[in-house]
Chain A
């Protein structure tokens, strides 16, 4: 029993954090809003070059053979920076799905190798989302059809752009024809892979939400320390201090829940649905509270397009509803907990082990 990250995991995360701080500035994000695609191939290649798309690709397919626990801190940093590129969707959601099939499916094996090198990109669809993010920059789309999973080249689908409140997000509805050729799997395996993909999607969204929450609180703390009214910084007032402290309490207690979910999702115990839903609900609440209390602390400035806060706030609002909104995940928690056979209590935090 050891609920800490390794020195290597922390160090790598710190490096990625610094990298994102330098590359994904609010100015850079604002510039990307002006462009047609909203995405930067150069930035993507840099993310590839530091190995981020390859982290969960198995070693035999040219990757680093890591798991969701290794990636979870990185996903948090993607949120903190409000990274627009679909790194989390690719590395944490799409790649493991392909990897589960790659031993018996040459298409998946080859695609994994090319994702690791940056030659190919993917987007992941799921019934829980309706829309697909970043389909326009993908070479292939992973698309569900009932319990089937298809791998469809982008040329074979018709994308209709949908505008998100978050100017960084690029969302699409997809029209496509189901054919035998694009089918990867179906039946029970399809069901379980789609369920696992949903859990990893929710996990990735939860991690980003916590990063976003901390970013928003960071902005609000800096602003309230600087802005003066009545001859002193507004941050000396307890009303604002307590707004921020409440955010910190929510965020701090969502973190271990998130890390347990990452661990459970990557070690596959029966417990994963419930652990992931717990994380998504807790992280969503933390991020929504951070958004609400931060804009309040900024006053009118927070209500402007010019103030950077909305970059993070809008992402939080969007991700809170992506990969299952709170209702979806709370419903899973209710079903699990209120089942008379639920194994609950102080000795069951990590499931039944003895």
Chain B
């Protein structure tokens, strides 16, 4: 155990810090759940890509820097410390990217990773269906092979940023006679293909942050299938491991929110009557730090050849409930101002906490609900009986 950064790691931190300071847009970008904001965020992704900062862990030939996971954590720390824009392509770079690295053919990597890294193509995730939420294996959307193509029919739902994205990675049933986890395949679909209809769904904040996607005889080449036919479930589970486990929510995000919460508390401490608030503030900061420590531990283990296991479920519960507690606490500190949208004149500079509070409500739901994660922990990590 050695909890000191190497001189190279410190130098790397400085380099990231300097580049971000010189390149972060002066004005905050509009929400990426609007067309305007989406394009601003896409432009930022391209800026990142030009500096080879798009995904630092990827190999150089795909626009990365070949960084290890500790360097990735340092990058993330600096990224959130600098309040850089949120990553509009997170479904692509954090979820599909690592999955492509593992299961993609050389041609697929060349085709898809490069454009993902360059900021040219934005990705959505199309797994959930009206009848397949927590029970993802109930997927009914079909992909029927005809020659060198698949013909797609069915419906996906809750697909984040599909309103503005270019591609969606889906799970379809390629064997119509199959049931549950069998006969599923992992398939990429361009969202502008004939037969694809995207219907925006407004979220709690009123913006179309996700969408329904309808497929009517949509044709895609078989090269758009990742992995073997019928292997879709296994690949999806490995993607979900990244999603819950490591990549999607790096600890720096929560540490910086916790730091802002501490600041908010200090600024308001004279008006606070509820004594439990201070305790909650401290707990939030300590939990954010615990999450960081846990991630450093996982990263160190993975660098020595370990694999991500059921701890991804433990992680997902921890960060999503931490995010909820942080924003509930901020609302408690803000009192009468808590309900104000940022654009209200009286909201001052604290209105963004409301946006965060609304989004925090979705954390325990997306990426597999926390109830499902608790089932997984009890059954797989602790070995409790299924029946």
The minimal Cβ–Cβ distance linking A209 to chain B, given in whole angstroms, is 15
Distance in Å from the Cβ of B44 to the closest Cβ of chain A?
Answer: 20
Min CB distance B190 to A, Å, is 36
Contact status A1-B70, CB under 8 Å:
yes
A350 within 8 A of B: yes
Most central of B74, B286, B378 by chain A CB within 10 Å? B378
B290 adjacent to A249 (CB under 8 Å): no
Residues of B near any A CB (own CB < 8 A): 1-6, 9-10, 13-14, 70, 74, 76-78, 80-81, 251-252, 255-256, 258-259, 262, 265-266, 269, 278-279, 281-282, 285-287, 289-294, 296-297, 299-301, 303-304, 311, 314, 317-318, 371, 373-375, 377-379, 381-387
Residues of B within 8 A of A232 (CB): 385, 387
A66 shortest CB reach to chain B, Å: 12
Q: Report yes or no: A349 in contact with B300, Cβ–Cβ below 8 A.
A: no
A69 interfacial by beta-carbon distance below 8 Å: yes
A1-22 near B? 1/0 per residue, CB < 8 Å: 1111110000000000000000
A236 near B: Cβ within 8 Å?
yes
For B316, the closest partner residue in chain A by CB is: A249
Q: Is A35 in contact with chain B by the CB < 8 A criterion? A: no
Query: Is A291's beta carbon under 8 Å from chain B?
Result: no
CB of A253 within 8 A of CB of B287, answer yes
- Pull 7 A–B residue pairs with CB atoms less than 8 Å apart, ordered by A: A224-B384, A238-B374, A242-B371, A245-B317, A248-B314, A337-B282, A345-B255
| Min distance, Cβ A246 to any Cβ of chain B, angstroms | 7
| Alpha-carbon distance A253/B262, docked complex (angstroms) | 21
B5 touches A353 (CB 8 A): yes
Contacts of A3 in B (CB 8 A): 1, 3, 293, 296-297, 299-300
- Residues from chain B with a CB closer than 8 A to the CB of A256 are 290, 293-294, 296-297
Interface membership of A41, Cβ < 8 A: no
Instruction: Tell me whether A221 and B279 are in contact (CB under 8 A).
Output: no
Q: Are B304 and A346 in contact (CB under 8 A)?
A: no
- Could you say which residues of chain B place their CB within 8 Å of the CB of A5? 1
- B377 A248 Cβ-Cβ under 8 A: yes
**A281 to B46 Cα, complex, angstroms:** 44
Query: In the complex, which residues of chain B have a beta carbon less than 8 angstroms from the beta carbon of A248?
Result: 314, 377, 381-382
Looking at the complex, which one of A221, A340, A345, A347 makes contact with B13 (CB distance below 8 Å)? A347
A interface: dominant SS = helix
| Bound form: Cα–Cα A19–B78 in Å | 46
A253 and B14 in contact (CB under 8 A), knowing A241-B379, A340-B266, A346-B252? no
Which A residues touch B70, using CB under 8 A? 1
Interface stretch of the complex, out of A107-115, A174-182, A257-265 = A257-265
Residue of A nearest to B383 (CB): A221
A229 to B177, CA, bound (A): 38
By the criterion CB–CB under 8 Å, are A245 and B382 in contact? Answer: yes
Q: How far is the CA of A244 from the CA of B377 in the complex (A)?
A: 8
With A278-B286, A282-B290, A347-B81 known to touch, is A1 a contact of B3 (CB < 8 Å)?
Answer: yes
How far apart are the CA atoms of A257 and B291 in the complex, in Å?
Answer: 9
Q: Which residue of B lies closest to A242 (CB)?
A: B374
Contact B3–A253 (Cβ < 8 Å): no
Known A238-B375, A278-B289, A349-B289; judge A1-B5 contact (CB<8 A).
yes
- Give 1 or 0 for each of A332-351: 1 = CB within 8 Å of chain B CB: 01100110101011110110
> Residues of A with Cβ closer than 8 Å to B?
1-6, 69, 217, 221, 224-225, 232-233, 235-236, 238, 240-242, 244-246, 248-249, 252-257, 259-260, 263-264, 267, 278, 281-282, 330, 333-334, 337-338, 340, 342, 344-347, 349-350, 353-354
Give every chain B residue within 8 A of A246 (Cβ-Cβ): 374
Given pairs A3-B3, A217-B382, A259-B1, 9 additional interface contacts (CB within 8 A): A1-B70, A2-B300, A224-B384, A240-B384, A244-B377, A245-B377, A344-B262, A349-B293, A353-B4
Give CA–CA (A253, B255) in the complex, Å.
15
Distance in angstroms from B253 CB to nearest chain A CB is: 8
Q: Check A241 against B300 for contact (C-beta < 8 Å).
A: no
> How many angstroms between the C-alpha atoms of A330 and B385 in the bound complex?
38
The 3 closest A-B CB pairs, nearest first, are: A241-B378, A256-B293, A346-B252
Write out the residue numbers on chain A whose beta carbons fall within 8 Å of the beta carbon of B379.
241
* A246 to B231 CA separation, bound complex (whole angstroms): 32
Give the shortest distance, in Å, between A274 (CB) and chain B (any CB). 9
Residue in chain B with minimal CB distance to A262: B1
CB distance from B387 to the nearest CB of A (A): 6
B268 → chain A closest CB, angstroms = 12
Contact of B285 among A224, A236, A337 (CB under 8 A): A337
| Docked CA distance A282–B373 (Å) | 21
The verdict on A2 contacting B1 (CB below 8 Å), with A235-B385, A253-B287 known, is yes
| Residue among B251, B314, B373 making CB contact with A252, cutoff 8 Å | B314
CB distance from B5 to the nearest CB of A (A): 5
- Nearest CB in chain B to that of A248: its residue: B377
A259 to chain B minimum Cβ distance, whole angstroms, is: 7
Chain B residue contacts of A1, Cβ below 8 A = 2-6, 9, 70, 296, 300
